[in-house]
Amino acid sequence: MPEPDDLMWRIAGGSGDGIDSTSQNFAKALMRSGLNVFTHRHYPSRIRGGHTYVEVRAGNGPVNSRGDGYNFLLTLGDSFARNPSEDAYYGNEEAKPLTENLDELNEGGIIVYDEGLLDEEDVEAINLEERAEENGWHVYPVDLRGIAREHGRDVMRNTAGVGFTAALMDIDPAYFEEIISNGMSGEMKEANLKVLEDAYELGQEVEHTHGWTAPEGEGHDEEQVLLSGSDAISYGAIDEGCRFISGYPMTPWTDVFTIMSQNLPKFGGISEQVEDEIAAAALAIGASHAGVKAMSGSSGGGFALMSEPLGLAEMTETPLVLVEAMRAGPSTGMPTKPEQGDLEHILYTSQGDSTRVVFAPANVEECYTQTRKAFELAYEYQIPAIVAYDQKLQGELRNVPESFFDEEPNADPGSVLTEEEIAEAAHHASDKFKRFLHEPEDGSNVSPRSVPGQEGGRFLATGNEHNEVGHISEDPENRVIQMNRRMGKLDDIREELNAEASHQTYHGPEDAEYGIITWGSQQDTVFEAVDELNETGHSVKAVGVSDLMPFPETEMTEFLESVEHAVVVEMNASGQLRGHIQKELGKYGDKLSSLLKYNGNPFEPRDIVEGFETSNGDGELPHQRMTYVPAAGD
């Protein structure tokens, strides 16, 4: 078997065993060695115990997805297993980090397992020797716990596993030594350095039967940083002047809430954890009403509770940015697994007709830029804006040039009038400010805005339909005027977005015969699949859709008119983006098919290749990981 171009390393163990932190340090070390890196997390809905793993993919070329399978397994066992026997209902959890990771290990791959935890009986129970022979795997049993205990505690077996990996893959251990030295101190630092050294030496001494090494880093043109989508959303919000956040913890939204809470005080901002998501959204609306750029957010179940406050923000035309971090549902569903099942929920939740902006960024860079744009539009047009992403994008890390974030901060409060401008603006005979003016003087649909405390800016804010100064009104003519003006903002926003660089991302030859459409976190995986399809003789291009409301009708019409057929790739069971496209464009039902995945795992490039070939009549899906739904009438 030829050597892999990229190292795709998976570390598996129990939740609470330091798998995530070890993988982050491993990725950071490889990035510093000059490689591009990408990580993917898989973890259970348990505080401690339960099979968890993280993949780190590293190579010199673009590394934008988890890849197809993986080629190196470091398994540490589950130290917090509740059921360490085969007779338990869920099986031997202690051994699951090994047993549940073998199906995706590529032919010719490497297995390093901790024989300090798993005895011969455990290994024989899964026929590891026989399976290794069938698949050409190279198995290295190592007493990682034994190495750790020589210098301190069992927990350092993670460091031992990294040291052994470095020796097998011919990676300079100096990068890992630097990470340990910078992140630890005292006896703990010295003990971990010694464990790393001993494991590395042992890895050099054993016979290397695999015959391949990690790619040698070619270096980066500029300084790199390792960030997740959650980091980028948070930094985008702060740079755009957000100084207030309120929330209640819920996976996977908690990451953004935590990062913002840790950083806002450095900029004079405030973070509030409240009793539930209703209070969180309402508090953010109150802060925004008072003149502060504010945000809140949640995941599916918590976002459902925000339905009423969201409608209030729409009716009172209070700027607000919400983050919706999707996970598998309905109800509690699979709280720590990715899915894109909340699209319709995000677009239409609240009361009556929705007037909101919805962006779905696809990677770290888009999380940063589109969060900033969400704030800009929210505060310029006095409208709620929602940034939708999912558990995959929330936790995956990738390296990005540090200079990408060298953007000017923006504290502009948007369309708030000065007191001088308020004095010249329209007022009622009672001297109340016409906050909800029917026909704004600038010809837009955005009424003039004041904030509490401004002289001459007094008005009423109510969740009921209201007249120009905010008094409750059920007058039919007023209702139509106010509703049309609020909804007209979406047309204004679409016009602004059309005049700027597109948020939609295109990939592949412009004259391709077939298309693939996707959104959010699956975009870069789709793009990798498109490259593979074109290399094997297909004619395919793709578009990742970020503007979900207001919808990019012109762009999507041009894309669909340019291809014979398009497959919509998304992580849900009902084809929600496909349905949204057909609703917005009013046609193309006979031109759109769906490739759906909703088993708790994101797409791999090979999934999309297989799905496209199925849609093209070249084959059938060879497994049940995905579902293909043909176009209407097929």
The 10s digit of each residue's pLDDT in 408-438 is: 999 999 999 999 999 999 999 999 999 999 9
Q: What pLDDT, on the 0 to 100 scale, is given for residue 288? A: 98
How confident is residue 124, by pLDDT bands cut at 50, 70 and 90?
A: confident
Give how far Cα 461 sits from Cα of 310, 314, 453, 484, Å: 14, 12, 14, 19
* CATH fold of 225-405: Rossmann fold (3.40.50)
Whether 93 has a pLDDT exceeding 90, the answer reads no
Q: What pLDDT, on the 0 to 100 scale, is given for residue 522? A: 97
One-letter identity of residue 140? Y
Whose CA is closest to 525, among 581, 486, 570? 570
Residues in the chain: 634
Cα–Cα distance between 169 and 329 in angstroms, integer? 40
Whether 474 has a pLDDT exceeding 60, the answer reads yes
Strand, helix or coil for residue 482: helix
DSSP 214: P
Which tens digits make up the pLDDT trace of 196-244?
999 999 999 999 999 999 999 999 999 999 999 999 999 999 999 999 9
Q: What pLDDT, on the 0 to 100 scale, is given for residue 477? A: 98
- The arithmetic mean of pLDDT across residues 458-478, rounded, is 97
Q: In the chain, what are the domain boundaries?
A: 7-205, 225-405, 419-499, 505-629
Which tens digits make up the pLDDT trace of 280-331?
999 999 999 999 999 999 999 999 999 999 999 999 999 999 999 999 999 9
Whether 521 has a pLDDT exceeding 60, the answer reads yes
Cα–Cα distance between 149 and 154 in angstroms, integer? 6
What CATH architecture is 7-205? Answer: 3-Layer(aba) Sandwich (3.40)
Give how far Cα 401 sits from Cα of 57, 64, 167, 522, Å: 18, 14, 29, 22
Number of other residues whose CB lies within 10 A of the CB of residue 351: 13
- The arithmetic mean of pLDDT across residues 51-75, rounded, is 95
How confident is residue 122, by pLDDT bands cut at 50, 70 and 90?
A: confident
Cα–Cα distance between 425 and 427 in angstroms, integer? 7
CATH 3.40.50.720 is held by the domain 505-629: no
68: its two tokens: 């197809």
Confirm if 300 and 363 have CB atoms less than 8 A apart: no
Which tens digits make up the pLDDT trace of 482-491?
999 999 999 9
- The arithmetic mean of pLDDT across residues 390-410, rounded, is 95
Whose CA is closest to 445, among 310, 550, 296, 582? 550
Name the E strands within 421-570.
505-507, 514-519, 540-545, 547-549, 565-570
Whether 461 has a pLDDT exceeding 70, the answer reads yes
Which tens digits make up the pLDDT trace of 159-197?
999 999 999 999 999 999 999 999 999 999 999 999 999
More confident residue, 288 or 17: 288
How confident is residue 624, by pLDDT bands cut at 50, 70 and 90?
A: low
How confident is residue 595, by pLDDT bands cut at 50, 70 and 90?
A: very high
What share of residues in the chain are helix, strand, coil (percent, to 5)?
40, 20, 40
Give how far Cα 106 sits from Cα of 72, 98, 408, Å: 8, 14, 45
Give the gyration radius of the chain's Cα atoms: 27
Q: What pLDDT, on the 0 to 100 scale, is given for residue 120? A: 80
How confident is residue 2, by pLDDT bands cut at 50, 70 and 90?
A: low
Dihedral sign, Cα of residue 462, residue 464, residue 465, residue 467: negative
Q: What pLDDT, on the 0 to 100 scale, is given for residue 151? A: 93
pLDDT above 70 coverage of the chain, percent: 98
Whether 157 has a pLDDT exceeding 90, the answer reads yes
The overall average pLDDT reported for the chain is 95
- The arithmetic mean of pLDDT across residues 357-376, rounded, is 98
H or E element, residue 234: helix 229-239
Whether 84 has a pLDDT exceeding 80, the answer reads no
Cα–Cα distance between 434 and 449 in angstroms, integer? 9
Spacing of C-alpha 564 from chain mean position: 31
How do 138-142 and 105-114 pair as beta strands? parallel
CB neighbour list of residue 185: distance below 8 Å, 6 or more residues apart = none
Say yes or no: do domains 7-205 and 505-629 share a fold. no
Strand, helix or coil for residue 54: strand
